[in-house]
Each structure stands twice: as structure tokens, then as C-alpha cells.
């Protein structure tokens, strides 16, 4: 996410928080008028709406096309000992990208997002000095 997008999102989140505080203040004022809590019900919100999506066939099911490599689940593990982060290398739209992540769930999300335009090629653990401690996934070089 670009910095300008993050700033806009943060502004909207602050605005949202202000509105939640305003609603709370109004509910508190109503309760003070009544001398007891009023049983306010939560209105339906746009964020409650969940769209039902039709399942789509994956490329490999349609025409024997691309099937992304997946890391064996047992090779992914929590950081141990002096390990401080995961270093992930992947190809996205033909460019090689290397990132450090400290969250195993984020790593699993990245792995599950693989497709024709995103392929994880290497996952390793690193220490505070950014030195490799263990290789968890390595694709054969092309």
C-alpha cells in the first residue's frame, strides 16, 4: 500500500472513530434522560452484507493450465530460538521481490494467494543480523 493511500485510510478510520464516539455520547444522553439504559438495537451496517460468490474453476481444472507450487504445510513453522523473521522471495508479474515478515499468518496468506502472476520461490528464517537461519521452502532455479 502506498503512503498516500495509508494516510487517506487512517483519516477515514479516525473519522469513523469520531462517529462511534458521537453515537455513544447520544446513547448515554438518552439513558440519562430515561434514568436507565435504553435498549438500543444495532442497526444493520453495509459492512454486514456478505456477497455470495459463485465458485470458479481454477486454471488447472479448466485446461490443464498453471498450477501454483505450494509449500508443504509441515515446512511452515513458528519462529524458533534466535530467528526473528521470515524472508520471503517471490515473483510477481515477472519481477522478483524479497520481503521480511514476522507473522506466520501473513506468510500463509501470501502462500495461499499464489497464482499465475504470483509465485513464492523461497521462504527462509533470519536472525537479528538478517542472516539466514533455516530454509523452509526453496523452488528449483529456472
CA distances from 124 to 73, 75, 82, 93 (A): 14, 10, 13, 22
Question: Given a cut of 80, is residue 141 above it in pLDDT?
Answer: no
What pLDDT does 139 receive? 79
Q: pTM of the full predicted structure?
A: 0.48
**Which of the four pLDDT bands, split at 50, 70 and 90, describes residue 74?**
low
Question: Bridge-partner residues for 6, per DSSP?
Answer: none
User: The dihedral of CA 42, 46, 47, 51: what is its sign?
Assistant: positive
- The bridge status of strand 85-92 relative to strand 95-101 is antiparallel
Domain ranges of the chain: 3-41, 70-138
**Which of the four pLDDT bands, split at 50, 70 and 90, describes residue 15?**
very high
**How many residues belong to the chain?**
142
Amino acid at each position: 500500500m502506498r503512503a498516500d493511500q495509508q494516510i487517506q485510510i487512517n483519516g477515514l478510520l479516525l473519522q469513523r472513530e469520531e462517529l462511534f464516539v458521537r453515537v455513544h455520547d447520544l446513547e448515554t444522553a438518552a439513558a440519562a434522560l430515561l434514568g436507565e439504559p435504553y435498549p438500543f438495537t444495532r442497526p444493520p451496517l453495509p459492512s454486514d452484507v456478505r456477497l455470495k460468490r459463485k465458485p470458479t474453476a481454477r486454471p488447472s481444472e479448466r485446461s490443464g493450465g498453471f498450477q501454483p507450487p505450494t509449500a508443504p504445510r509441515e515446512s511452515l513453522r513458528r519462529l524458533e530460538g534466535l530467528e526473528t523473521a521470515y524472508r520471503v522471495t517471490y515473483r510477481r508479474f515477472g519481477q522478483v521481490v524479497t520481503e521480511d515478515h514476522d507473522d506466520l499468518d501473513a506468510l500463509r496468506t501470501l502462500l495461499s494467494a499464489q497464482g499465475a502472476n504470483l509465485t513464492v520461490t523461497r521462504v527462509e528464517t533470519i536472525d537479528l543480523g538478517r542472516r539466514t537461519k533455516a530454509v523452509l521452502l526453496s523452488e528449483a532455479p529456472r
